Chains A and B, each alone.
Chain A
């Protein structure tokens, strides 16, 4: 190295720089402060979730240790006044309401997404798309109100009784999850390269054949993603369900018979519950927390799968 001829004036001492400007202290501090500020924001989001989980877990734990996980999770009767804290009927209620809403809402939502992404001319899309997104912005109490005043009487005529029950909840929830499933499905369809569509049309496929044989299969994982997130929305929905489902904490008996779900029961009982009853409500919150965590993890896993296959 020492033998190399020097052709220009290189500084001989490390740390010397004549022409290069040094980073100013002000810039350095500004950068560092901003970096830490963003870190703090991210931390607060995580801390919020963690705190809620710890708090709910702490308050709800005695229901498992004192009443017993078996009696709580698989108990057939929810009669807090008699010391019976079985949430199985409520859990089943949540599942029934959610699955019904998915069965009703998914075909409509996927159909709407296909229409928006593949069929609608730009003008119609520019009207329908915001309308679908607007559905997501309507407060759930408004959906509940609509269900209570408009849908419930219709359902009552159909099924007999008062119209409080799963059928009304299914319809309301189905409408509520349409934007979630539709926008995510549309995203999945839009992420398919146009070359794939061209190839299919050039092979002599019709629009319908292209959609059903190429595009929907290609968007499969994205659609399952969308459905799972819609499921999360449905299972966690409280107010709208509470207003129409009837809130009778028994097992599912029929489409027009009152029912209760985990979320609606928590709201119903919260104002007056005390002691072990209150602990049981926190226990239900733990279950809801775990279910939605499971759903989010499933979606994560699926998107990793999607990255690997593409």
Chain B
């Protein structure tokens, strides 16, 4: 089942640049009859943080959910075009979305730990994959919580319910839970908009640490955050209500924020709308 970019796009030679983790070519997305995204093409670089910005309802989250095929869970959605992960078409027939999601982790806006202990939350993924030995699980739980900078706070209360933690801690617990299955890519859907400022700081620091091993894509409404944490930025816009949204500009964060090429990007960044 190895569908490579070359097979789908005769003119497209898989980039010699091994840095491309995810490639998107001519992506259209539909909710039933409504087209939400049109003709999106971009490359997500390996071991970097890419920020998706844009006004509410511009399809950033929808786009993000295409990468781990979470949109499959919504009845009536349709994807056209191509998304590849390491050169493999993730929408090719026969690709198991369940397996894909094990390689592409996701963090949601609302921290959503399972109603079970901190330990069981983190051990959830490894157990799904068949890890049974207590010693192995103990090790994964500890490593993951350490990577999520939560270990010091919870090491003595691993048996306590995940929901007893504060909002910011819960979000880091969710990050630890995802890291426990060692994903290549981490999708973050406004991970900081429901938690307090101190915790936001911690999560941003964490992203900087993680990006050496994980490719991170973050959707954010907060442009300062995008500027702080990301290496590259994509600006999305739905220009007319009821029409599909599109990718207006994509480039190095520094360029997008200091010298945007597109007038619309500039307007948005300088706060003229949105």
* Contact status A198-B101, CB under 8 Å: no
Listed stretches B103-111, B198-206, B220-228; interface member: B103-111
Are A198 and B112 in contact (CB-based, < 8 A)? Answer: yes
- Give how many A-B residue pairs fall within 8 Å (CB-CB): 70
A203 engages B112 (CB within 8 Å): no
In the complex with contacts A192-B115, A198-B70, A218-B115, A206-B98 CB distance below 8 A: yes
Given A198-B108, A198-B112, does the pair A203, B128 have CB atoms closer than 8 Å?
A: yes
Q: How far is the CB of A37 from chain B (nearest CB, A)?
A: 42
Indicate whether A217 sits within 8 Å of B116 (C-beta atoms), given known contacts A199-B174, A202-B70: yes
Known contacts A203-B101, A203-B128, A205-B98; A195/B163 CB under 8 A = no
The interface residues of chain A lying within 8 Å CB-to-CB of B98 are 204-206
Interface membership of chain A positions 171-209, coded 1 if the CB is closer than 8 angstroms to chain B and 0 otherwise = 000000000000000000000110110111111111001
Question: In the bound complex, what is the Cα–Cα distance between A138 and B152 (angstroms)?
Answer: 58
| B272 CB, min distance to chain A CBs, angstroms | 34
What is the CB-to-nearest-CB distance from A222 to chain B, in angstroms, rounded to a whole number? Answer: 11
Q: Is the CB of A205 within 8 A of B108?
A: no
Q: In the bound complex, how far is the Cα of B73 from the Cα of A121, in angstroms? A: 12
Q: Which chain A positions have C-beta within 8 A of B75?
A: 121
Residues in B neighbouring A206, C-beta threshold 8 A: 98
CB pair A196 B115 closer than 8 Å: yes
Tell whether, in the assembled complex, residue B115 and residue A204 are in contact, meaning their CB atoms are under 8 Å apart: no
A310 and B115 within 8 A (CB): yes
On chain B, the residues within 8 Å of A81 by CB distance are none
CB of A8 closer than 8 Å to a CB of B:
no
Q: Of A121, A200, A309, A310, which contacts B114 at CB under 8 A?
A: A200
Q: How far is the CB of A209 from chain B (nearest CB, A)?
A: 6
B101 touches A199 (CB 8 A): no
- Interface flag for B50 (CB, 8 Å): no
What is the distance, in angstroms, from A203's C-beta to the closest C-beta of chain B?
A: 5
Q: Which residues of B contact A202 (CB under 8 A)?
A: 68, 70, 101, 105-106, 108, 178
* Complex contact B110–A203 (CB within 8 A): no
Report A105 CB to chain B, min CB distance, Å: 26
Task: Choose one: A199, A213, A310; the contact of B112 (CB below 8 Å).
Answer: A199
Residues from chain B with a CB closer than 8 A to the CB of A199 are: 108, 112-114, 174, 177
How far, in angstroms, from A45 to B147 measured CA to CA in the complex? 58
Q: Which residue of chain A has the shortest Cβ distance to B100 in the bound complex?
A: A204
- CB pair A204–B70 under 8 Å, yes or no, is no
**Additional A-B contacts beyond A198-B70, A200-B114 (11; CB < 8 A):** A193-B110, A195-B110, A196-B115, A202-B105, A202-B178, A203-B101, A203-B125, A203-B128, A205-B128, A217-B116, A218-B115
Counting from the closest, the 6 A-B pairs by CB-CB distance are: A195-B112, A204-B102, A204-B101, A202-B106, A218-B115, A199-B112
A–B complex contacts, Cβ < 8 Å, 15 sampled: A195-B108, A196-B112, A198-B112, A201-B101, A203-B128, A203-B177, A204-B181, A205-B98, A213-B124, A213-B128, A214-B114, A214-B116, A218-B114, A309-B161, A310-B115
Binding site for A on B (CB under 8 A): 68, 70, 73, 75, 98-102, 105-106, 108, 110, 112-116, 124-125, 127-129, 161, 163, 174, 177-178, 181
